[in-house]
Amino acid sequence: MTVVGPDLRKGQRPQYTVPPNVWFGAFLTHDIESFTDDGSVFVETPGRDPDLHYSFVGVTCAPAYQFEDDEMATRDGMKALAPNAEAFINYLVPA
C-alpha cells in the first residue's frame, strides 16, 4: 500500500504514479484503524467529523483521458479479483 503524504521518513510519498491497467482507490489513512496487505483484516476508526477531516486528491491521465475508455470498478468484480478483501472492497467501492 502506498501512502501519499509529506513524511518521507515514514515512507510516505509526495505523489504516486499508478501503472497502466491497474485498479486504484484512495482513503484517508486516519479513518482506518488497521488492515492487512491482502485486505482480509480491516477495521474502521470511530466516526470522525467529515467537516474537519478530509483530503484533496487529484488524478492526471496521460495520454489524454477518453471518457469511452473509463470503467468503474464494481464490488462483485473486485471481489472476484481479491476474494479475501471483501470488507476492504465494501469500504472502497460504492454499492
**38-88 tens-digit pLDDT:** 777 878 888 888 888 888 888 888 787 788 888 888 999 999 999 998 888
pLDDT digits (tens, 9 = 90+) for 11-48: 999 999 988 888 888 888 788 877 777 777 878 888 88
Q: What residue type is assigned to position 43 of the chain?
A: V
- The domains of the chain are located at 8-92
Opening angle at CA 33, ends 40 and 94, nearest 5: 65
Place of cell 482480509: 40
Its pTM surpasses 0.85: no
